[in-house]
Amino acid sequence: MKKKKDSIGARIKKAIVKDWQLFILIMIPISFVIVFHYIPIYGVQIAFKSFKPSLGIMRSPWIGFDNFKNFFNSWQFSRIIVNTLRLSFYGMLISPLPVILALQINYITNAKYRKAVQMITYAPYFISNVVLVGIINLLLNVRTGPLNNLIYMITGQQTDILGSATAFPHLFTWSGVWKSLGFNAIIYISTLAGVDVELHEAAICDGANLLKRIWHIDIPHVLPTYVLLLILSMRNILQTNFEKVFLMQNSLNIRTSEVISTYVYKVGLVANIPNYGLGTAIGLFNSLVGLILLIIVNRIADKVAGYGFF
Amino acid sequence: MISKHNTGISDKTVYFINYVLITIFTLIVLYPVIFVLSASFSDGNAVMHGKVWLYPVGFTTRGYEAIFKYSAIMTGYANSLYYMIVGTVLSVFMSALGAYPLSRKDFSGKKFFMILLLITMFFSGGLIPSYLLIKSLGLINTRWVMILPGLVSAYNIFVFRTYINNTIPLELFEASRMDGINDFQYLFRIVIPLSKPIMAVLALWHAVGSWNSYFTAMIYLRDRNLFPLQLFLREVLLQNVDIDVSMMDIEEVNERRQLQQLLRYSMIVAGSLPLMIAYPFIQKYFVKGVMVGSLKG
């Protein structure tokens, strides 16, 4: 046993002597990774402890799975899981939109107009979440918002969309479309640029019209990319955009807008008596589900597209 | 078969419908921007009564003048710039330091460090343990908390490494070795100067993310003098923080209310302006970045 250990040690020593410059270089970023990623991973143990700040991480007493049980048994549990999944699935539902936009941009024949459309549709991607939610609030303000006035003109009813729990998932998703549809289309636009022109020419000779050619040539060409991105997005199914959800939350829409990440923040950091252990346990649950999904999804991607992540 | 194809919708119709739909979509994307711009140049009273919907009503620049009077915004601007510039420069430098050794196939620690980095992409301690760490490091309420935790990104290192592997020929390395150039010199004199395009991409990712984020600042900063712009924007746009009105008469209060309403619009414009001005120039790098990222998978 001891002999083997020595030999590993000796090997490491030899490697370090040989590549000492490379080791020095890489240890600079790696030390940050160790401090800011691996020490928190070590701290995850408080998910299984009754954490007392005065005792610290090490000396707080172990309590097994109590924090997890508390979470699973709380009345909030099913609600926030459903809310989180609702936003994720809604996101998947609209995932073909960037493909459609890319196809549309691809068939704008006027080069200048195409460029202009691209420029305009990418631009909102650079707007911050704070500003995005600020704009939503201004547009839908019950008294002064032009969108709200438009709805009033059409339906004759004054509705407070910002305070509506049923409207929240739609508002969240479609404002996201507004912000990033153009940007998400970029990858498909460049994929479409790789379609063989001869295929189209041959199809035209055979009398295929534009719709047929899009259906039989363009769509099969972008499909693998689409499927791959969709499958990979599954691993983030419990991850929602904290920054945006949190900003859009208010006491009236909380029924549908409380998701796992915002709940962790509230329970673990801003509550009157922050429950660090419970917050960490929920975070860990979230991470583990993500990890399991990633492994499953990676298998599927490997089978379907022959393109696994590792 | 052929005649059947031709009885379908003609290509001209399809092109026409496409133009109509894409124009509608582009206008929808454009509308909120136009509305905010117009409202920011409008009379506060008109905005408060919902009279502005497309063009400015009662043109005025008072909203923008108010920004300069509201010193907090200037503080926010300066802080955001500071966090963005320092963070971006250091972050790109870190990516280079990490990427070069990993690009060397003969580097003995390569596999170990690759795995160490890869794990961080798929598993993290989460919010609470990170918070406890930052607290015990004494970083709460300091400028460093806005820069250090997000400095090293495994993903950026991998993208950089892929770039080095794909664009810098191995012969160059062998030739430099012949000339007696060591690893430090090779990194600083050859790899970094040859990697400017990818460094531009990584810098942009970091800069845009840094300018637009508020979450780190919200949990770790208490001192208003350290707040980035996004936190002040959040106060004005979303939290209805009122300017103190207790000492004023009704007319003055009303005036203030209008000004505050205007301030929301002008601040949206002012807060988004730096990226919007830079955007046409940086856009192509972003597109390039998307492609590099997707190649990596």
Q: Residue B232: pLDDT band by 50, 70, 90 thresholds? A: very high
pLDDT for B247 equals 55
Residue A48, min C-alpha distance to chain B (Å): 13
Q: What CATH number does residue B128 fall under?
A: 1.10.3720.10
Say whether A211 and B291 touch across the interface (CB within 8 A): no
**Amino acid symbol at B259:** L
Q: Which residue of A has its CA nearest to B237?
A: A134
Confidence label for B3 from pLDDT (cuts 50, 70 and 90): very low
Indicate the number of domains in chain B: 1
Q: Do B26 and A120 touch (CB under 8 A)?
A: yes
Please report residues of A whose CB lies closer than 8 A to that of B182. 21
Q: Residues B269, B275, B277, CA angle at the centre, nearest 5°? A: 80
Count CB neighbours of A100 within 10 A.
14
Q: Is B28 a domain residue?
A: no
The pLDDT assigned to B98 comes to: 97
* CA gap B154, B99 in Å, rounded: 9
C-alpha to C-alpha distance for A35 and A18, rounded to whole angstroms? 26
Domain hosting B207: range is 65-297
Residue B117 domain-assigned (yes or no): yes
The pLDDT, as a whole number, for residue A297 is 79
Nearest CB to B53: which of A26, A57, A146? A146
State CA B53 to chain mean position distance: 29
Radius of gyration (C-alpha) of chain B in whole angstroms: 26
Q: Is B193 on the interface with A (CB under 8 A)?
A: no
Task: Round to whole Å and give the CA distance between B146 and B226.
Answer: 10
Instruction: Out of B94, B128, B268, name the one closest to residue A268 (CB).
Output: B128
**Residue A62's beta-bridge partner residues?**
A49
Q: How far is CA B108 from the centre of its chain?
A: 36
Question: Is the interface score ipTM higher than 0.95?
Answer: no
Q: How many other β-carbons are positioned within 10 Å of the β-carbon of residue A198?
A: 8
- For the segment A249-288, what is each residue's pLDDT rounded down to a tens digit? 999 999 999 999 999 999 999 988 889 999 999 999 988 8
Q: What is the tens place of the pLDDT at every residue in B72-116? A: 888 999 999 999 999 999 999 999 999 999 999 999 899 999 999
Contact state of A139 with B35 under an 8 Å Cβ cutoff: yes
Q: How far does B248 lie from chain A, in Å, by closest CA?
A: 25
What does the mean pLDDT of chain B come to?
88
- Alpha-carbon distance of A156 to A159, in angstroms, equals 9
Amino acid at A151: I
Identify whether B252 is part of a domain.
yes
How confident is the model at residue A1, as a pLDDT?
Answer: 46
Q: Is residue B38 part of a domain?
A: no
Q: How far apart are CA A231 and CA A150, in angstroms?
A: 38
User: How many inter-chain contacts (A to B, CB under 8 Å) are there?
Assistant: 279
In this complex, which of B133, B268, B297 lies closest to A131 when CB atoms are compared?
B268
pLDDT of residue A113: 95
- Residue numbers in B near A101 (CB within 8 A): 25
Q: What are the tens digits of pLDDT across the range A91-149?
A: 999 999 999 999 999 999 999 999 999 999 999 999 999 999 999 999 998 888 889 88
Which burial class, exposed, middle or buried, applies to B171 when counting CB atoms under 10 A from its CB (0-12, 13-18, 19+)?
exposed
Q: How confident is the model at residue B2 (pLDDT cuts 50, 70, 90)?
A: very low
pLDDT score for A310: 47
pLDDT (0 to 100) of residue A121: 94
B227 to A42, A76, B79, B80, B219: CA distances (angstroms): 30, 33, 7, 8, 11
The residue whose two tokens read 């954490």 is A51
The CA distance from B44 to A215, in Å, is 52
Give the distance from residue B188's alpha carbon to the nearest chain A alpha carbon, in angstroms: 11
Q: Is residue B6 a part of any domain in this protein? A: no
Q: Is B83 part of a structural domain of the chain?
A: yes
Q: Best interface-test mutation with A: which of B128, B139, B151, B185 has the largest number of A CBs within 10 A?
A: B128
Is B237 in contact with A126 (Cβ distance < 8 A)? Answer: no
Which of A19 and B226 is assigned the larger pLDDT? B226
CA distances from B3 to A113, A237, B104 (A): 33, 47, 61
- Give domain status of residue B111, yes or no: yes
List the end-to-end C-alpha distance of chain B, in Å, as a whole number: 41
Report CA-CA distances (Å) from A291 to A219, A288, A305, B181, B195. 31, 5, 20, 43, 33
Residue A38 has pLDDT above 90, yes or no: yes
In chain B, the residue whose alpha carbon lies closest to the alpha carbon of A52 is B132
Q: Per the domain annotation, does B31 fall within a domain?
A: no
